[in-house]
Amino acid sequence: MDFDFFVIGGGSGGVRAARIAATHGARVGIAEDRFWGGTCVNIGCVPKKFLVMAAEYGATAHDARGFGWDVNTGTHDWPALLRAKDTEIARLNGIYTGLLDKAGATIFNARARFIDAHTLDVGGQRITAHKILVATGGHPTGLDIPGAEHAIISDDAFFLPHMPKRVAIIGGGYIAVEFAGIFAGLGAETHLVYRQPLPLRGFDEDLRSGLAEALTANGVHLHPHQEPAEITLHGEARRLTLKSGSVLETDLIFFATGRAANTGDLNLAAADVKTGTQGEILVDEGFATSTPHIYAVGDVTDRLNLTPVATAQGHALADTLFGGNPRGVSLDSVPTAVFSIPPLATVGLTEAEAAAQGPVKIFISRFTPMRHTLTGRARKTLMKLVVDAATDRVLGAHMLGEDAPEIMQGLGIALTAGATKTDFDRTIGIHPTAAEEFVTMRTQTRVAGLRAAGE
Ligand code: NDP
């Protein structure tokens, strides 16, 4: 065999697995034909966060007036922002390949495909390996409606030649609400079209309604209970006809309607690797596919499609196979954040999920962040704890408001360690912060889940 371990895909999961396996002494090859660092570094988390930061600066400059600064925001230079973003991402691409090189992995700037269960075609070269990891990630999927070719997906949003004046985003998930903040913050008339009553299905209801209010306060036009029917061109403009019959005229239509696994080009059948109904690779708890020496991690398995999950899985797999340290990755209590404006973050169970299991005490705090007592901006922070009434364990923590992702990372440790509400209460706060509210919530807002207890 040419390699002990061959990794297909140079994204978060693949690079981590390849690097750690090589550090453990395995002979490792890794193939990537597009972006070193994958979706997150190139057309996902990293550039998205730069765009969110850019979008926040306008309002922040305006806020500074409340603190005595005489600031004029002027205009925004979109091409300058994209140039700065591209420079930083090129640097990150180099870091990724540098790390692999330093660890001793062999890098192939090529596409890989299975020939059989131990043999790959890597850019025309036949390569054999004892073990193979598929870490090819996913891609955004649009909707199959007439005129869909006139809409963009998130991959395109990072390379728009200029900022549109009017945007309609379809979907109410992570990507939709994040880009609603970006476009509205950079001055576009922004419409969010989604089929649920509130954005972010699956998140805690209080957070969802708080986010809808915050989006409206930021000037985003919300269109709940709506589904698109057709897109037509009218000169430079695009018309989005909804199933309800309403029509939105806009300059850009953006599908943020989910992602699908990148398995179409791999010739998985040649290696007898089984996929699910959406093309995702089916794996067991040890990341093994239906062919036991072939593994898969990250978005290609479509479980919890988050970069840190893919990275943790890639690391655990490399430790298991080559480091003499077999271990899995728990997907319980994975903290997550949505970089909307303001952001929201969450760890553990929502009120509805917890209440379905039994009685829970709910603590909610809603307040104007200190900064905005002087800026006058209508912005509320919302914090919420879901506590098991029987054991006092904190089952869920949720926050909408500035710094929510930074705060939730620490609370993620507390919940992973099994902290109780009493542990939260005996922790001394840091004053004056928003975060201290999580350790000073004493008044119970309500009890939920009594019906589940009765049943
Ligand atoms: P999501 O799954 O989060 O959201 C998809 C949205 O599209 C939902 O609102 C869904 O509605 C809607 N939708 C799906 N199909 C249709 C349809 N046929 N008609 C109308 N609406 C439809 O996907 P995203 O594309 O936003 O993001 C993909 C994944 O990437 C996320 O789930 C997340 O795992 C990851 N991600 C993480 C980020 C982070 O950590 N900050 C940032 C961006 C992405 P409904 O709810 O009704 O199904």
> Do 10 and 31 meet the contact criterion of CB atoms below 8 Å apart?
yes
Atom 21 of ligand 1 has which residue's CA nearest to it? Answer: 171
Within 108-185, residue ranges assigned H as helices are 154-157, 174-185
pLDDT at 452 over 80: no
- Catalytic residue positions? 431
Please state the atom number of ligand 1 nearest to the C-alpha of residue 201: 46
What topology is assigned to 3-139+260-322 in CATH? Answer: FAD/NAD(P)-binding domain (3.50.50)
The rounded percent of the chain whose pLDDT value lies above 70 is 100
Full-prediction pTM beyond 0.85?
yes
Rounded average pLDDT over 272-292? 98
**pLDDT bucket at 69, cuts 50 / 70 / 90:** very high
pLDDT at 125 over 90: yes
Residues 154-203: pLDDT tens digits? Answer: 999 999 999 999 999 999 999 999 999 999 999 999 999 999 999 999 99
Per-residue confidence (pLDDT) for residue 169, from 0 to 100:
98
Q: Which residues fall within 8 angstroms of residue 140, CB to CB, at 6 or more apart? A: 153, 154, 155, 175, 255, 256, 257, 258, 259
pLDDT at 258 over 90: yes
Ligand 1 near 256 CB (within 6 A):
yes
pLDDT at 453 over 90: no
Q: Is 361 helix (H, G, I), strand (E, B) or coil?
A: strand
Please state the atom number of ligand 1 nearest to the C-alpha of residue 176: 26
Helices 174-185, 205-217: crossing angle, 10 deg rounding: 20
Name the maximum alpha-carbon separation found in the chain: 69
Looking at the chain, the domain(s) classified CATH 3.50.50.60 span 3-139+260-322, 148-257
Rounded average pLDDT over 376-391? 96
Q: Is 208 helix (H, G, I), strand (E, B) or coil?
A: helix
Give CA angle at 153 (152, 157), nearest 5°.
80
Ligand 1 near 251 CB (within 6 A):
no
DSSP E strand stretches across 72-117 = 106-108, 112-116
Rounded average pLDDT over 296-306? 98
Closest CA to 295 of 268, 265, 323: 268
pLDDT at 74 over 90: no
- Assigned architecture for domain 148-257: 3-Layer(bba) Sandwich (3.50)
> Do 236 and 164 meet the contact criterion of CB atoms below 8 Å apart?
no
Rounded average pLDDT over 143-147? 98
Residues 309-353: pLDDT tens digits? Answer: 999 999 999 999 999 999 999 999 999 999 999 999 999 999 999
Token representation of residue 280: 């995702």
**299 Ramachandran zone, left/alpha/beta (phi>0; psi -120 to 50):** alpha
Per-residue confidence (pLDDT) for residue 73, from 0 to 100:
78
Rounded average pLDDT over 6-29? 98
Helices 78-103, 45-63: crossing angle, 10 deg rounding: 140
Per-residue confidence (pLDDT) for residue 72, from 0 to 100:
84
Looking at the chain, the domain(s) classified CATH 3.30.390.30 span 342-454
Distance 208 CA to ligand 1 centre (A): 14
pLDDT at 359 over 80: yes
Q: Which residues fall within 8 angstroms of residue 51, CB to CB, at 6 or more apart? A: 81, 85, 158, 182, 186
Ligand 1 near 119 CB (within 6 A):
no
Rounded average pLDDT over 101-110? 98
DSSP summary character for residue 303: S
Q: Which of 195, 201, 346 most suits a substitution to test ligand 1, by most atoms within 8 Å of the C-beta? A: 195
Token representation of residue 65: 């007036």
Domain 342-454 CATH superfamily: FAD/NAD-linked reductase, C-terminal dimerisation domain (3.30.390.30)
Hey, how many other C-beta atoms are within 10 angstroms of the C-beta on 311?
21
Rounded average pLDDT over 265-287? 98
**pLDDT bucket at 451, cuts 50 / 70 / 90:** confident
Atom 24 of ligand 1 has which residue's CA nearest to it? Answer: 258
Ligand 1 near 196 CB (within 6 A):
yes
Per-residue confidence (pLDDT) for residue 454, from 0 to 100:
72
Distance 142 CA to ligand 1 centre (A): 11
Please state the atom number of ligand 1 nearest to the C-alpha of residue 45: 42
Rounded average pLDDT over 410-428? 98
